[in-house]
Amino acid sequence: MRLLAAMSGGVDSAVAAALAVDAGHDVTGVHLALSPDRQTLRSGARGCCSVEDAHDARRVADELGIPFYVWDLAERFTEDVVDDFVAEYAAGRTPNPCLRCNEKIKFAAVLDRAQALGFDAVVTGHHARLADGQLRRSVDPAKDQSYVLAVLTAEQLAGAVFPLGSMTKQRVREIAAERGFAVATKADSHDICFIPDGDTRGFLSRRLGEQPGPVVDAATGATVGEHGGTYGFTVGQRRGLGVAVGDSRPRYVLGIEPVTRTVTIGTAEQAGVTEVRTARPTWTGPVPRLPFHAEVQLRAHGTPVPCTVSAADDGGLVLRLGSEQRGVAPGQSAVLYAADVERGDLVLGQGTVVSAGHPVPA
């Protein structure tokens, strides 16, 4: 196949490209320049991280003897990922930008362009398995990235190749070291790539400004504190609430109301939910017949919970959870898995969380 390897400059995508070459494919490397600050890319020639990453990716491509190019997708990334991220927080939700980037950039803008240019598929270093069109969790549970890929449709998955899903991260690093890649020991990236210092609240406050509002105790309705902007909070959050309520029991964020800028907090009992409603879902394969039983993962790195999936009147899903959960934040993705002991968990699809609470008694 003619494959386009998206090379971030990290160890995973380097090894993924190498394995694609080993498998006998005709591979071309591409580094996606996503920094909205174009100037950084040029002045950064004197030492900014995105230029270093491009250099690292190019080094690996040169070692592999494959063509390598840089594609400037900054404009689309800014619109579809960064601006979306800010808008979601402004609306009181908690977005996942990596998921959005996979949905809109890597397996949309990049894949479309690759296919138009004559490539069959895009190779990435994601830790997930993809065989016969079926997306499954990685064999390395600590590194599994199926959660942020669950938004991909069957059509998008048909244009994707994930060579790393059946190996551990440790094995990836070993392969990189065996091949003498300089990136073999490069640190994993943990942060949101466009917030390199990790200070999400600071980034949002620069974009959205100071937006003070009340912190309200759900039990009494009393205002128990002030905050500088609802974007500093996420549903289920416990630390950093900056309020003192009479008793010493922990408090959690129960809800965020962006219009009145109200953050509602409550106790652990009040924070628990047993039903989650999502927006219109996407499916990685054939649309399943509703209702059905599945496992749902409600946030990146969350623990899967058994649930019953049924249709809501508005085209979304209603998920009845098998056990009470805390911290189900609107904006996060509810990813549905079919537990498959033999072959590993199969990703069925996902829906964006709209609300969470308890079933309304009939």
Partner 1 sequence: MTYLDHAATTPMLPEVLAAMTEQLGRVGNASSLHASGRAARRSAEQARERLAEALGARPSEVLFTGGGTESDNLAVKGLFWARRDADSRRRRIVVSPAEHHAVLDSVEWLAKHDGADITWLSVEPTGRITPEALRAALGDGDDVALASVMWANNEIGTVSDLAALAEVAHAVGVPLHTDAVQAVGQVPVDFTASGVDALTMTGHKLGGPMGAGVLLLRRDAECTPLLHGGGQERDVRSGTLDVAAIVGLQVATSTAVRTREERAVRVSALRDRLVAGVMAQVPDVQLNGAPLDDVVAGGPGRLPGNAHLSFPGAEGDALLMLLDARGVECSTGSACSAGVARPSHVLLAVGADADRARSSLRFSFGHTSTDADVDAVLDVIGPVVERARRAGLGRR
Selected range binding partner 1 among 25-33, 126-134, 230-238, 284-292, rule: CB under 8 A: 25-33
Residue 193 a catalytic site member: yes
Please state the residue numbers annotated as binding site for ATP: 6-13, 32, 125
Beta strands in 46-107 (DSSP E): 68-72
Find the shortest distance in angstroms from Cβ 118 to partner 1.
Answer: 6
Q: HSE on the CB side for 135, CA within 13 Å?
A: 33
Residues making up the binding site: 6-13, 32, 125
Tokens of 200: 């999400």
Signed CA dihedral, 186, 188, 192, 196: sign only: negative
CB 252 within 8 A of CB 268: yes
Contact (Cβ atoms closer than 8 angstroms) between residue 228 and residue 210: yes
Nearer to partner 1, 34 or 296 (CB): 34
Q: Indicate the DSSP class of residue 112.
A: H
Phi, psi of 110 (to 5 degrees): -70, -45
Are the C-beta atoms of 350 and 334 separated by less than 8 Å? Answer: yes
The minimum distance between CB 51 and partner 1, in angstroms, equals 4
Contacts of 117 (CB under 8 A, 6+ apart): 4
Mask 44-63, x = binds partner 1 (CB under 8 A)?
Answer: xx----xx--xx--x-----
Select the span of 71-79, 267-275, 276-284, 321-329 touching partner 1 (CB under 8 A). 71-79
Give the contact letters, 79-118, x = binds to partner 1 (CB under 8 A), - = no. ------------------------------x---x--xxx
Lookup: tokens for 73: 């997708």
65 is a contact residue toward partner 1 (CB under 8 A): no
- Per DSSP, the residues of 172-229 read HHHHHHHTT-GGGGPPPP-S-TT-TT--HHHHHHHHH----EEEEETTT--EEEEES-
Is 101 a known active-site residue?
yes
Q: Which two tokens stand for residue 318?
A: 């209603």
Which one-letter DSSP state was computed for residue 300? T
Q: Between 42 and 358, name the residue whose CB sits nearer to partner 1.
A: 42
Contact with partner 1 (CB under 8 A) among 22, 23, 38, 303: 38
CB 208 within 8 A of CB 86: yes
> What is the smallest separation between the CB atom of 56 and partner 1, expressed in angstroms?
11
Q: How far is the CB of 248 from partner 1 (least distance, A)?
A: 53
Structure tokens at 247: 């008793």
Considering the complex, what minimum distance in angstroms separates the CB of residue 82 from partner 1?
15
CB of 70 to partner 1, least distance (A): 4
Question: Are β-strands 273-278 and 121-123 bridged in parallel, bridged antiparallel, or unpaired?
Answer: unpaired
* Contacting range for partner 1; rule: CB under 8 A; set: 33-41, 257-265, 280-288, 329-337: 33-41
Q: Which stretch binds partner 1 (CB under 8 A): 70-78, 174-182, 256-264, 282-290?
A: 70-78
**How many chain residues interact with partner 1 (CB under 8 A)?**
27
Is the four-CA dihedral 359, 85, 97, 263 of positive or negative sign?
negative
For partner 1, the binding residues (CB under 8 A) are 28, 31, 33, 38, 41-42, 44-45, 50-51, 54-55, 58, 67-73, 75-76, 109, 113, 116-118
Query: Which residue numbers are catalytic?
Result: 101, 193
